[in-house]
Chain A
């Protein structure tokens, strides 16, 4: 159990055809039997998500159909230059997983010809727009399920990566693929996901977000219970961590579950940067979320009820800034919050360039004008702008929206019973978070239940050498990612 998941027990594979049978569990694996005149036939197998189907159609199929009854004959017939002739099962598996086609005789199963046919469409993929990162790969999922599976499989060329396909939606018949790694992913998680997707009764599944909403553990929560990402690298990393990934036809996003609140705060860049810097950024995002939720309610509460709390050097500024405002703090705050939300919504509906202009014009013009007109105080303007800014730091879009939404009940409670109202709302939020579950696993996991070993990748991200264990959250079947001893055992080059 403690052993790391490295090279599979290849010795158990007796011959090449066993190796191929093992791969057949995945839905994207194809095995063609081509009858031949002189022989029992040829067996062609490949991953249709990994190869360029044109090569197969144009360069292989027309030629192997003819006369040869030995593999040597096949090689002779094919007009291709790089072919591998092998009888090692593991070699066959490894090559298939990186985009080779294997051809063997249907009745002679210890030898195979491997032909390179990897698809070359890499550069046609979209750039990540929602989760753009300055360093690291710039590849995003697209609307085609097969391409997306190709992108993931490219990063995890192992036979254990299993893909199960379902068809959901009575009208749309959307193809949905559930990805997991056998021996790492907890079967219970896979089963739960599969069951929940199968239980969906809806006519049209347009996007993966439909599925995210329909398979959620709690339908009343504003929080996203699954990570929604457009990055294939993030999907692959989550699979390796032991999580379940769901992708659907027609959707350029994938879902990751089970997920935790803290995971929603981690941008994938965190893994591309030095751990010290990454930890600082992550911490900043947490702080931003708290600030965004609490700062406006605190302003309302303190200015309406608790003048005693304000330091005497600040009173001057606050009183002067509010002296011409005719509204009570609550109205003032609600108006400004609404203005900011309107600006955001308008920006989201307009094309990118116009949207930016609207943002700047709206922010500056409306802001300064309303202060000068005495409708709002400039201190509040700073506070509201700051809290809006902070809410945009969350790397998962849905989380940012949730944070902006829950601010409003906080503000109302603050104007209702001051600081006690803010505390009650926060308490309510805590209970809500405690009650949330993602795929049946606790949502605020490393905090409660307290799992100290999972703190290595929570509020801070410790160096990779500390990340030998998979998170307890996913209840992985194989706890260790790599052998800790091997990883730390570096042989430094002696400088003489």
Chain B
């Protein structure tokens, strides 16, 4: 009886196996998109764009060839249907690592374009979003010179993740972008990439008003931005103090807020606690207590430049540092509208505390 039952079950299973209706995605029979880019295309109206997708082709000698497909449209998913027409295998986005937008695209609302990434379960929150300084499709279609066994998407993702860990980029990915977009007292930011000698490089940080591009940090501003935004552990910082060049590295910094009376025009203070190693000091005959002196001067330098950066953000009316978010969690009468009105008038101070832990093997 039991054997008969189980036989019936097995036959049922076999019969059903034909109609489970799941699509097979055999690894070598699909094209896995590793990077996409969006350039604006004014011919298709205001929100028209040209989408380019690159997919790696793995060759038997372990090298990787990158093939790109592109299509013009004003809906992201529509471009996928169009690119499918050019492909020899079905295209899947589960291995998408990087999405790059041109500045033109970023100047309009960027968030609607990310909707497809959020909605697609095969794309995770760790997708890297970035803004291209010039043409976005150039960055993903140019194969980095000398890199044979890696495709552009993974290379770009690795490069940006490396710069988040030990470089000037703050933590950024699709999730962080979405978080900042939905947060009440914060604006979004994305890394800016550009090509230099056939290789992509991180140029700075693009700051957004909500999801519209407004400003790109230059030089030291990016480092200050990162220090003012989050705890850092491996930054480098250089400054010119009294004509001598000073460079510190391995910066471990912590920032904290003092907000005495939230939602009033009382000044807000951002404290920066910086611990670093001295790497370079161009003065050949330093005085005895030169580290103390450097610490003092560095503090003043960071405070001056930090306040300048914040003033600039206030003038642009963007709150990329999330100061509003800090105020919101410190008050019981938070009002988003009122805050937005008062934001650019509030005096914001930076208070730095630099400590040089080690100055190398010479004194």
A binds B: yes
> Is the beta-carbon distance between B26 and A308 smaller than 8 angstroms?
no
State whether the Cβ of B112 lies closer than 8 Å to any Cβ in chain A. no
> Is the beta-carbon distance between B122 and A329 smaller than 8 angstroms?
no
State whether the Cβ of A80 lies closer than 8 Å to any Cβ in chain B. no
B154 nearest CB neighbor, chain A only: A312
Given A220-B2, A220-B3, A323-B60, verify A305-B28 contact (CB < 8 Å): no
A397, chain B: closest CB distance, angstroms: 25
**In whole angstroms, what is the CA distance A325 to B2 when docked?**
41
Given A220-B3, A312-B154, verify A417-B58 contact (CB < 8 Å): no
Interface centre among B3, B27, B59, B62 (most CB of A within 10 A): B27
Interface string of B272-296 (1 = CB under 8 A from A): 0000000000000000000000000
Once A and B bind, how many residue pairs between them come within 8 Å at the CB atom?
A: 57
Residues of chain B with a CB closer than 8 A to A305's CB: 22, 24-25
> Is the beta-carbon distance between B20 and A318 smaller than 8 angstroms?
no
State whether the Cβ of B94 lies closer than 8 Å to any Cβ in chain A. yes
A321 nearest CB neighbor, chain B only: B28
Q: Is the interface of A mostly helix, strand, loop or mixed?
A: helix
B127, chain A: closest CB distance, angstroms: 12
State whether the Cβ of B30 lies closer than 8 Å to any Cβ in chain A. yes
**In whole angstroms, what is the CA distance A320 to B61 when docked?**
8
Interface string of A360-401 (1 = CB under 8 A from B): 000000000000000000000000000000000000000000
Residues of chain B with a CB closer than 8 A to A320's CB: 58-60, 62
Given A316-B58, A320-B60, A417-B20, verify A303-B2 contact (CB < 8 Å): no
> Is the beta-carbon distance between B22 and A418 smaller than 8 angstroms?
yes
> Is the beta-carbon distance between B26 and A328 smaller than 8 angstroms?
yes
> Is the beta-carbon distance between B58 and A315 smaller than 8 angstroms?
yes
A217, chain B: closest CB distance, angstroms: 14
B15, chain A: closest CB distance, angstroms: 12
A307 nearest CB neighbor, chain B only: B27
Given A220-B3, A307-B94, A308-B95, verify A318-B27 contact (CB < 8 Å): yes
Given A220-B2, A418-B22, verify A303-B27 contact (CB < 8 Å): yes
State whether the Cβ of B237 lies closer than 8 Å to any Cβ in chain A. no
State whether the Cβ of A304 lies closer than 8 Å to any Cβ in chain B. yes
Residues of chain A with a CB closer than 8 A to B24's CB: 304-305, 328
Instruction: Choose from B17, B60, B62, B95 the contact partner of A307 (Cβ within 8 Å).
Output: B95
**In whole angstroms, what is the CA distance A325 to B26 when docked?**
12
Residues of chain A with a CB closer than 8 A to B2's CB: 220
B149 nearest CB neighbor, chain A only: A316
> Is the beta-carbon distance between B17 and A308 smaller than 8 angstroms?
no
B1-41 CB contacts (< 8 Å) to partner A: 2-3, 6, 17, 20, 22, 24-28, 30, 32
B6 nearest CB neighbor, chain A only: A220
B97, chain A: closest CB distance, angstroms: 8
> Is the beta-carbon distance between B25 and A304 smaller than 8 angstroms?
yes
A345, chain B: closest CB distance, angstroms: 24
Interface string of A172-211 (1 = CB under 8 A from B): 0000000000000000000000000000000000000000
> Is the beta-carbon distance between A315 and B27 smaller than 8 angstroms?
yes
Interface string of A276-318 (1 = CB under 8 A from B): 0000000000000000000000000001111110101001101
State whether the Cβ of B181 lies closer than 8 Å to any Cβ in chain A. no
**In whole angstroms, what is the CA distance A416 to B14 when docked?**
10
Interface string of B73-99 (1 = CB under 8 A from A): 000000000000000000010110100
**In whole angstroms, what is the CA distance A417 to B24 when docked?**
9
A60-74 CB contacts (< 8 Å) to partner B: none
A275, chain B: closest CB distance, angstroms: 42
Residues of chain A with a CB closer than 8 A to B28's CB: 318-319, 322-323, 325
State whether the Cβ of B323 lies closer than 8 Å to any Cβ in chain A. no
Interface string of A83-111 (1 = CB under 8 A from B): 00000000000000000000000000000
Residues of chain B with a CB closer than 8 A to A322's CB: 27-28
A336, chain B: closest CB distance, angstroms: 17
**In whole angstroms, what is the CA distance A328 to B122 when docked?**
22
Interface string of B59-70 (1 = CB under 8 A from A): 110101000000
Residues of chain A with a CB closer than 8 A to B97's CB: 312
A306 nearest CB neighbor, chain B only: B25
Known: A304-B26, A312-B97, A328-B26. 14 other contacts (CB 8 A): A305-B24, A307-B30, A307-B92, A307-B94, A308-B94, A308-B95, A312-B95, A315-B27, A319-B28, A320-B58, A323-B58, A323-B60, A416-B20, A417-B22
Query: Which A residues form the contact surface with B (CB < 8 A)?
Result: 220, 303-308, 310, 312, 315-316, 318-320, 322-323, 325, 328-329, 416-418
Closest 8 CB pairs of A and B: A308-B94, A319-B58, A322-B28, A303-B27, A307-B27, A319-B28, A312-B154, A304-B24
Listed A/B pairs (22) with beta-carbon separation below 8 Å: A303-B26, A304-B24, A304-B25, A304-B26, A305-B22, A305-B24, A306-B25, A307-B25, A307-B95, A312-B154, A315-B27, A316-B64, A318-B27, A319-B27, A319-B28, A320-B59, A320-B60, A323-B28, A323-B58, A329-B26, A416-B20, A418-B22
